[in-house]
Structure 1
């Protein structure tokens, strides 16, 4: 076993709750908030750099089911699904309320790739949306949470699954490297994402300000065992007028899992979804400026920051206004 395998083995042996408690004890006297949080993350979570991941390419990789949900994503769905096809051969594509050609595309894609199952949700779904207050009522069947659990129910229990979003474009080679990491049913591989925006009018690429790399725990590889989406209320967002709002989303609680952070394997283009115009995504950073602060080596392989290649991906999107 090499160093990376040994460290990963040890962290798998020690329960994450114990490591979290130990991290809290160690950092209780560290006054600087950022330094304290960085120390806690190193102790309680597992982080694999690009070079670490290369050292784990042994044995047989998992063959996960793709968990996909679609609503009017004709702009990027072709680029997304073609980007994963080299390494993912099966999955469930759930869809609802599509009127832009996405449904027709999904049905034809599944016909040509029979490992993928199309699943049409029989009810109208309110997407993650702004609320005036948390107790705002809606029919459970119309919630994004219920829709997510319905799609999840078509994936066999005990199988590894990977969440795929159709406004993401994946690097198939790097994605497959992640399939060598899961060894224990409690492992949860977090797939980070780089939020980007391509301005078609001036042929310019931007990253979002404020976050060097999005490592939220809502994009993962994990075992389909006792999984269930629940309602989650996020009060961090503001609407277009700058007013504080509540947004109701679905959440899959992975706090009890063994969290393993990995390198960047995909690009995220959130502004292709029209409903997100109400969220403040207008603070953009020119891509060349982002590259100066990008965590190259620790979280990102420099090859993933080839601007020309990323723009060539964007130019394959459907011809629509992405602003």
Structure 2
């Protein structure tokens, strides 16, 4: 058993044996003086300015447990990987930060909206996390029920109150990789779990709005959408809930948890005698990636991203579907 501490805020543990290996890494770090974009009122003549500040804490665990079994010509290698990361915004901008355009102090800022698209927003708050998603919904009465106009049975969007839907990042990631080999034949199987996190789908909202989704078809077949125990006309309901650019995403928030067969490989190493020892190994393989989902509740692949940046994550807005890839490889060793 080996344990060592390369840094005061991180540590690594290792357990090694002939069959079983365990590696565990814990880390804890703080990031200061990050880059923020601060919006300006239109009357100023500027859209935004940039400032450095804030403090974000990240801590997490990365671990791998592997096992090896050899029985004559049969070999089994198995490894289980577990990762998690937690981030918390400890501080936003210092209230004494100077606005370079006006020359005034920015004062206390309870939050910073880093990206917004109609009913979707990512907001930074002290005590929150980078990747927090906020959405809007329908107006409600004093009892918390959806407000339905008693005169005409209509409902209304509530664009003033933003609701925290969750965070786009997963709580945990687990990967299980197995390789089986027997007399030149090998089979590799990789299954991974993305556990936790939320995502929203503007695509689903638009499909509901125009009556092309399964949900809107079921609502028509059932005579309406159930709201507060009664039925509302599907067209009237979805014209509001699916209205605007993205729809009211409080009604289109899904768990991003999914389990998939990430990769499968079937290979065969040809006997060396076939090549008169001119080649050491010739391996031909059939490789499949992202083959299918065992579990997924979202109406799209939650691991697809609309943006490669830090923000604007966890939203589906008419993205291309994820792809299944199947390929063939030949590996030569001289």
What TM-score do the two structures reach when normalised by structure 1?
0.21
Q: Which has the higher contact order (CA 8 A, sep 6+)?
A: 1
Question: Which one has the bigger helix percentage?
Answer: 1
TM-score with structure 2 length normalisation? 0.20
Which structure is higher in strand share?
Answer: 2
Which structure: larger Rg? 2
